Amino acid sequence: MPPSPLEIISGVSAAHHAQPIVLERDHAILDVAPPAVSGAPGPTYRLRIDEVGDAAVVREVEPTLLPACCPERHINCDGTFCLYWEEAEPLSVTDAKSASLWFGKLLVFLRRQRVAAARRQWPAQAEARAHGMRAARHQVVAERAASELGPRFRKQLMRLSTRRKSVAGQPRIRLLRDGVRLVTVSERDSRLMTKRARCKCDDAARLGLPACACGDHQAALTNLTLALHGWKRAEEEFYAAYTALGIECCGTMDYCPLRKETA
């Protein structure tokens, strides 16, 4: 019988600042002490790892150094850590190489937790993943569409937003960059209404082409606009579901949609 993910993870743990404490058939407990980037010793996290098929999920045995739940710090309501984006980059632990990759994501996650606790905001925000499966799927589409428009455009993704507005009863979605409109899409038929305006891609100034004649950029701008709008709505629904469950803000982050405003 091949080794289980728990056995493989325990087997490579010493190379990743971790020490097995318990190894059972259904779970393992490890002490993990990732050093700081400077090399200075860091805190030791006592973590429980459970198998889910050929993958592994991890949480603190008891929420001691981390909040019990904090979407802004990528800790789910059951205490498990969002180490990676399962919808886009599933990670099976089947050998030492994949276990080392899993540990790499865990160590980065724990180091970022220290920064988040000190700064009260999540570091590397441009790399942050959407909250919830539906929002994550929209983010995948948005990132791919932005990449089709060029590397400079892709880097500006976090500066983009959308605004929905009805004109003569027809819902339209505007794509904005720093509050300035780039394009408008008809929500009803997913149609780029500004397709004859100059494209917004990286080469727009040099080529001078309208979006409808600039490669596949008409589709990219349409997909990007709709995906960003769907992403926003899905995250709003995600936090509404948390609120309905009675989950409250842990108070460790300056921005949190779960935080209740005080008079």
- Residue 115 has what pLDDT? 93
Residue 88 has pLDDT above 70, yes or no: no
Whole-number Å distance between alpha carbons of 15 and 157: 36
Specify if 15 maps to a domain.
yes
CB 230 within 8 Å of CB 130: no
Specify if 64 maps to a domain.
yes
User: Do 114 and 161 share a domain, yes or no?
Assistant: no
pLDDT tens column, 99-111: 999 999 999 999 9
pLDDT tens column, 209-238: 999 999 999 999 999 999 999 999 999 999
Residue 98 has pLDDT above 60, yes or no: yes
When pLDDT is averaged across residues 60-65 and rounded to a whole number, the result is 96
* Between 131 and 43, residue with greater pLDDT: 43
Q: Domain containing 65 — which CATH number?
A: 3.10.110
Whole-number Å distance between alpha carbons of 185 and 175: 8
- Residue 262 has what pLDDT? 43
When pLDDT is averaged across residues 77-88 and rounded to a whole number, the result is 82
Specify if 257 maps to a domain.
no
- Residue 130 has what pLDDT? 81
pLDDT tens column, 136-154: 889 999 999 999 999 999 9
Q: Which of 75, 99, 123 is the last residue of a domain?
A: 123
User: Do 25 and 113 share a domain, yes or no?
Assistant: yes
When pLDDT is averaged across residues 226-253 and rounded to a whole number, the result is 93
Q: What are phi and psi of 114, to 5 degrees?
A: -65, -40
User: Do 55 and 28 share a domain, yes or no?
Assistant: yes
pLDDT mean across residues, the chain:
92
Specify if 41 maps to a domain.
yes
pLDDT tens column, 119-134: 999 987 666 778 888 8
User: Do 19 and 119 share a domain, yes or no?
Assistant: yes
User: Do 71 and 150 share a domain, yes or no?
Assistant: no
User: Do 119 and 137 share a domain, yes or no?
Assistant: no
Quote the pTM value. Answer: 0.83
Please list the residues that pair with 56 across neighbouring strands.
Answer: 51
Specify if 58 maps to a domain.
yes
C-alpha 34: how far from chain center: 22
pLDDT tens column, 157-202: 999 999 999 888 889 999 999 999 999 999 999 999 999 999 999 9
Number of domains in the chain: 2
10 burial level (CB within 10 Å; 0-12, 13-18, 19+): buried
When pLDDT is averaged across residues 52-63 and rounded to a whole number, the result is 93
Q: What residues make up the domain containing 75?
A: 5-123
**Percentage above 90 pLDDT, the chain:** 78
- Residue 261 has what pLDDT? 57
Specify if 128 maps to a domain.
no
